[in-house]
Structure 1
């Protein structure tokens, strides 16, 4: 019997990434509190929220395989969230310019029996030194209000970056597909036959 696959997300970026695997799936938005806990590091926040998102949807659809993911951006120990407004995007990028930002993308897959497996993918970005004019021009063209760190690597935001180091090129966009294919295979959903064989 084919297992129902559900993406616990309303993010169009994550849907576009999951579409690449050619698997049938549903997408459903989890209704959870995404606030950080006191004393929690950005990486810990991402891992916890990825499981909370997946668990919230799995409890509505037990017996399904559910994917949860969350991403945080860490600038010099401070968590950067989604800016939501032009002013906050400009302020974020002004603080990021010339600095290194670490993005933690956490992934959780809950199998049909309710067992959760979590992994994380880290991406280190060194931002270029940017003028206020450059930042404002970018924000006005891209309107990156719905992504942590205010810069979209898959679009014009890559021009703001001096270097990118990651173990998965899809991680920064919001869903690390290399790690996901492994977790899906372990949960009984193969993207390709024998995907776990090295």
Structure 2
């Protein structure tokens, strides 16, 4: 059977694949994400193009070490009214970021790219829209205290599958896209390539 490699250290993405029945090994790619984002911004590219460029770059970096394997690169970007957000460096940055998102709707854009032996075979970009409720600062401080270091693990400073659900008044879009990868189309690709039963 064809080996499947996830070019990521994301436990959430690995768990999504494993729970869907995909046997996958994880090999994070060393990529300067900030440089790629700056380049995309300088070229006037949309956030979708940045997510795609990062996903492909990750997969291409890892494919060299895994000949014959299907290598999945994935990335997620958060865009709010033209601003791109990154994972916060510390809890103070997470607090500031959540204040900027408060009462506003943002988009999470997730992309997956599959390559084999340096050749790009497939990609998919999906987005979801999330509206952050107008919470109080008292709520925010309590949320950050309770969530702890987990607020640093995602671009939006939340794990919507847990405590982070309290931040939202509305969510529109595919659940897996929100978690960081367009899983259902990816599973379709893997079935078509014999990794999963058709």
TM over 0.5: yes
Deviation of 1:183 after TM superposition, in Å, equals: 2.0
How well do the aligned residues superpose, as a CA RMSD in angstroms?
A: 1.4
- Structure 1 Cα separation of the partners of residues 133 and 60 of structure 2: 39
Question: Which of residues 107, 113, 121 in structure 1 aligns to 2:126?
Answer: 121
With 97-106 and 23-32 compared, the bigger mean Cα shift is at 23-32
- Structure 1 Cα separation of the partners of residues 194 and 54 of structure 2: 23
- Structure 1 Cα separation of the partners of residues 114 and 130 of structure 2: 26
- Structure 2 Cα separation of the partners of residues 78 and 134 of structure 1: 24
1:179 — aligned with what?
A: 185
Stretches of 4+ moved more than 6 A in 1? none
Relative to total residues, which structure has the larger helix share, 1 or 2?
Answer: 2
Question: Which of residues 87, 104, 108 in structure 2 aligns to 1:99?
Answer: 104
**Runs (5+) with no aligned partner, structure 2:** none
Q: TM-score, normalised by structure 1?
A: 0.91
Tell me if structure 1 keeps the 8 A contact 2:67–2:116: no
Tell me if structure 2 keeps the 8 A contact 1:62–1:114: no
- Structure 2 Cα separation of the partners of residues 147 and 115 of structure 1: 27
- Structure 1 Cα separation of the partners of residues 78 and 152 of structure 2: 14
SS in 1 for 2:62: helix
- Structure 2 Cα separation of the partners of residues 185 and 71 of structure 1: 24
- Number of corresponding residues: 190
Aligned pairs (5 A) from 1:74-85: 74-85=79-90
1:73 — aligned with what?
A: 78
Deviation of 1:113 after TM superposition, in Å, equals: 7.5
Deviation of 1:149 after TM superposition, in Å, equals: 1.3
